[in-house]
Structure 1
């Protein structure tokens, strides 16, 4: 047996070897005191995600979902229940991944599924080792309420404010369309902003792209004809950038509309990936329910951002926990784009 045979038997070995220089650099920066705590976490998170995306491609999403789920559980429940919930979550997800991947007709030369499963198994080991430490007080992850319990009221301030803004917009549309109809200028079929079908779609869709096309239908049609269909490159980004310009380029509008463009692009790529896994009815319902909540929260975040008029208020919104979900969507978009590029190469 030669060294090359070991790389075949251990497909992740090559990536681990490639990561050694970065690990040495990280150790040097920590030992020299050049990394703040925030930079320490950013270095680990960025490096780990790049490493996962390079080694596993699109299968890295399985690992990221597992990791994010464990973190959310640890931060949201009491220390006494941490071990039970983390164990149940990790083992259930690991078993689901094993069964799901084994039922697929995978390329035997493709090592990415095996690397992903190996990483998930290792994560299960680490997470279920951390949970008893939290339960026994060896590691103190929280004081008093959990992070999610503290963050939930803040997310609900944002959601409630966005609901008021949506009601205000709808009220304006009601007055506009009523005035036009009284004057004899009734909008054409499918061009109005307040049809029953559109309102039902806005409140029930789990796709941000569908919400975006349905929201303010007359303006959506106008932007599609004026910008989207005429732009030779990056039409989605150009459309939202023009919309920010049209809305007067206040700080919140620039940030909000550009964020909206990134979220829609992420929506176009994330959902086909997730829907490929959500094949059974038992998986489809949690998938649609969770993504519906995500869509509503992202819409709320964007609406509040668009209505923000000062840099200081925009900074408070950006640095709040409400930015976690949009950042997660943006990060998932980067991973999927990287996976697509690697696949093409």
Structure 2
């Protein structure tokens, strides 16, 4: 169970908590008319640099380099080229860093540095902001820096034009976590007058604090139960299903707690749901919708709700751009973005198949299940099945290694995704015959 300790003692929460007072300070300064727009950009940029150095130490260079290179590309490329080149550069850089993790874990057989893992997490979030910004420029939602600065402009003018982009990419409230904030929303918050800025609601922040405390208490209780019982390597038959469900529950509680903490930091800095936005700009979407995630009987709805801002980003970046097999391409890219560990490749491809099966199963059920007692029984069974399939996928993705994946696939837990696979084949044949 050493991997559990590594996962749950992750220092992201520590650094996010340390950044909380600075987020409140930034929001307070925005209420002052003397705090200019440029000063706001510089405050967020300097805070991001300081947080990166404190959390990542020497590995911070791996985050600074792609951010600076992206700013250079944005300042020198036209709108039609910027997305393709920035996407290629950022994903190549991130993949090289992930390969370094593969080398450490699988070739050297050594545990990776916690700071290096933090760096990879920050790089993944940076990739979201880079590609979101480049898509906005490509689609004409944001003016490219190269379009407003002549080729003979001085270096200081180029830097002033690129400052909003650098501040967005390295902003401290979003450096280590948080819902994806579009550049339009970020710019609207920074350029908003002091009369539009609001103090964060103390009641809302207190409620989120209570939620975090409750989730942490649940996590401690469930962690004791997991550590006291058997593991995947020594469980027996149906006991493996309980081990899978309880271990996945620990991962889910950790994610929920971290997402709410990240949301608190964004709210404290003024980038939350109360932030003013420009016309046509998508609103703020928190990553954690615990009620929907824990009560839905639809795998497809769980998928859209899990880490909502990332799901919306993947839909825009891959799903809507794909010409064929968009669902498979989206999950394949997600596996690439996460690092292409064996468990991640298997888990995300399995997830794609489960979503496809979910669509067919529920379409069939809507036609043939009429009475409310049958519908109630159907919802109860599909809810339990959905939670068990999600637990199976989560363990495959989080445990990552080939040995853990082999243990999971050889356990009784594989019955649940296998059943959906069989139903997918049967219903797909039925649909083809009807067509």
TM-score tier (shorter):
0.5 to 0.7
Q: 1:175 aligns with which of 261, 264, 271?
A: 261
CA shift for structure 1 position 233: 0.5
Matches within 5 A, 1:9-20: none
Q: Which runs of 5+ in 1 are unaligned?
A: 1-149
In structure 2, C-alpha distance between the alignment counterparts of 1:331 and 1:287, rounded to whole Å: 18
Find out whether 1:184 has 2:270 as its counterpart: yes
In structure 2, C-alpha distance between the alignment counterparts of 1:175 and 1:204, rounded to whole Å: 22
Asked whether the 8 Å contact 2:319–2:330 carries over to 1, the reply is yes
Find out whether 1:210 has 2:324 as its counterpart: no
SS in 2 for 1:193: coil
Matches within 5 A, 1:78-93: none
In structure 2, C-alpha distance between the alignment counterparts of 1:181 and 1:289, rounded to whole Å: 36
Find out whether 1:252 has 2:343 as its counterpart: yes
In structure 2, C-alpha distance between the alignment counterparts of 1:226 and 1:318, rounded to whole Å: 31
Asked whether the 8 Å contact 2:256–2:290 carries over to 1, the reply is no
Find out whether 1:320 has 2:407 as its counterpart: no
Partner of 1:329: 420
In structure 2, C-alpha distance between the alignment counterparts of 1:315 and 1:262, rounded to whole Å: 19
Q: 2:322 aligns with which of 219, 224, 231?
A: 231
Alignment length (residue pairs): 192
Find out whether 1:201 has 2:295 as its counterpart: no
CA shift for structure 1 position 189: 4.3
Matches within 5 A, 1:118-129: none
SS in 1 for 2:399: coil
Q: 1:160 aligns with which of 236, 242, 246?
A: 246
Find out whether 1:272 has 2:363 as its counterpart: yes
CA shift for structure 1 position 339: 1.8
SS in 1 for 2:321: coil
In structure 1, C-alpha distance between the alignment counterparts of 2:431 and 2:374, rounded to whole Å: 25
SS in 2 for 1:253: helix
In structure 2, C-alpha distance between the alignment counterparts of 1:293 and 1:152, rounded to whole Å: 15
In structure 2, C-alpha distance between the alignment counterparts of 1:281 and 1:153, rounded to whole Å: 33
Matches within 5 A, 1:58-77: none
CA shift for structure 1 position 300: 0.4
Q: Which runs of 5+ in 2 are unaligned?
A: 1-235, 274-281
Deviations 1:52-81 (A, max 9, x none): xxxxxxxxxxxxxxxxxxxxxxxxxxxxxx
Partner of 2:333: 242
Partner of 1:340: 431
Q: 1:275 to 1:152 in 2, by over 3 A?
A: farther
Matches within 5 A, 1:39-58: none
CA shift for structure 1 position 282: 1.5
In structure 2, C-alpha distance between the alignment counterparts of 1:331 and 1:221, rounded to whole Å: 29
In structure 2, C-alpha distance between the alignment counterparts of 1:340 and 1:204, rounded to whole Å: 29
Deviations 1:223-267 (A, max 9, x none): 011011110111111110000000011111101000000000000
Q: What is the TM-score when the length of structure 2 is the normalising length? A: 0.43
Asked whether the 8 Å contact 1:269–1:336 carries over to 2, the reply is yes
Asked whether the 8 Å contact 1:251–1:308 carries over to 2, the reply is no
Asked whether the 8 Å contact 2:300–2:355 carries over to 1, the reply is yes
Q: 1:280 to 1:239 in 2, by over 3 A?
A: same
Asked whether the 8 Å contact 2:285–2:308 carries over to 1, the reply is yes
CA shift for structure 1 position 342: 2.5
Partner of 1:96: none
CA shift for structure 1 position 174: 1.7
In structure 2, C-alpha distance between the alignment counterparts of 1:152 and 1:315, rounded to whole Å: 17
SS in 1 for 2:318: helix
